[in-house]
Structure 1
Amino acid sequence: MSTEIKLSQSTAIRLEQARGKGMPEADILKAIQAKDVAAFDAVSEEHYRYDTFFSYADEHGEKLEEALLNGYRITFNTRGGLGIWLEKAFNLQADKDFTVGEGIITGLQLTAAQAEVLEQRLAWNWVITDAKEIPAGRELTLKLRALV
C-alpha cells in the first residue's frame, strides 16, 4: 500500500522553483540527501530562499526525497500560493496564462501531462470544476471546494 506524500505549499513552491529554474533532478536529490542549503543558491529568489527548507521539512515530517522521486500532494493551498505554485511548476505567469480571482482560477491552459500533475498535487481545499479539451491539452477552472 502506498502512502501519499504531503508537502506544505511553501515547500512545494521551493521544490518546483528549483526544477523550473533548471536544477537537474539528480542535483536536487543530492542536495536533499546531504541537506545542502548552499546547493540551492543558484535557484534561490528574494521571497523564496532555502534557508529553512530542511529544518521546516524535518519539523513537519515532510519527506523531501520521496516527494521528489514519487510525487506529492500539497496539504493546503491559498489562492495566492496556488497561483505562485502554478507559475513555478509550469513556467506560467498569472494574468497572462491564467486569472486568479476570489476563490477561483480560470483560463489555465495545460498540456495533458501537466494537468495530470496538477490533479496529483492540488490540495484538498481546491477542485477542478471545469476541464475542456483544447489543441494544446486542457483548459481548466479551479475553485475553492467551499465555493462549489
Structure 2
Amino acid sequence: MSTEIKLSQSTAIRLEQARGKGMSDAEILRAIQAKDVAAFDAVSEEDYKYDEFFSYADEHGENLEAAVQEGYRITFNTRGGLGIWIEKAFGLQPERDFTVGEGVVTGLKLKPEQAEVLAKRLASNWVITDSRDVPEGQELILKLRALV
C-alpha cells in the first residue's frame, strides 16, 4: 500500500458492520461504485444506518473503494467507538469477550490474523501494550497512547 487509507471511526464501523452481517467485499464495492445506499438496507441498524455514508466519505475525502480493497487505518478511536469497532469487525461482545475500561481494553482474545488486522486498523492514539499466546490465538491489552 503506497499511501495509507484513512477512515473515520464511524465509517470504519459501518464498513465492518456490513462485512459482519454477510456482505462480501465485492457487494460492498458494487454499492460504493454505484453510491447505492439501499444496498446496505439489509445490514443497517438503528444506531448505524448508511444514509450519510457516501456524503460523509465524499466530504471528508475518504476513499471507500480503496479502503475495501487495500485496507485502512482509523483516524481516531474513542474508547466506546473502539469497543463497537471490535464488536463489528470480529463478532465479539463487550463484557463477554473483552472489557473496555477508562483508556484500556483488556481480555481481547483474537486469532493471529485478526490481531494483525487490529494492528493495521487501530488509530494511532491507541497502542497494543501486551500480547500473550492463548489457545484462541493471542490475548491483547490495548491502551490509550497517552497512558503508556
Same fold per superposition (TM over 0.5): yes
1:36 maps to which residue? 36
Q: What percentage of residue pairs aligned between the two structures are identical?
A: 78
Where in structure 2 are the equivalents of 1:1-148 lying within 5 Å? Answer: 2-148=2-148
Q: How far off is 1:140 after superposition?
A: 0.1
Q: How far off is 1:64 after superposition?
A: 0.1
**Aligned equivalents of 2:25, 2:59: Cα separation in 1:** 24
Name the SS for the 1:26 alignment partner. helix
**Aligned equivalents of 1:24, 1:121: Cα separation in 2:** 19
Q: How far off is 1:135 after superposition?
A: 1.6
**Aligned equivalents of 1:26, 1:125: Cα separation in 2:** 31
Q: How far off is 1:24 after superposition?
A: 1.5
Q: How far off is 1:85 after superposition?
A: 0.1
The alignment's C-alpha RMSD in Å is 0.7
- Return 5+ residue gaps in structure 2 as ranges: none
Name the SS for the 1:100 alignment partner. strand
**Aligned equivalents of 1:117, 1:130: Cα separation in 2:** 16
Runs of 4+ in 1 over 4 A off after TM superposition: none
Give CA-to-partner distance per residue, 1:39-78, whole Å, 9 cap, x none.
Answer: 0000000000000000000000000000000000000000
Name the SS for the 1:50 alignment partner. coil
Q: How far off is 1:25 after superposition?
A: 1.3
Give CA-to-partner distance per residue, 1:86-142, whole Å, 9 cap, x none.
Answer: 000000000000001000000000000000000000000000000001122100000
Aligned length: 148
Name the amino acid aligned to 2:131: A
- Return 5+ residue gaps in structure 1 as ranges: none
Give the TM-score normalised by the residue count of structure 1: 0.99
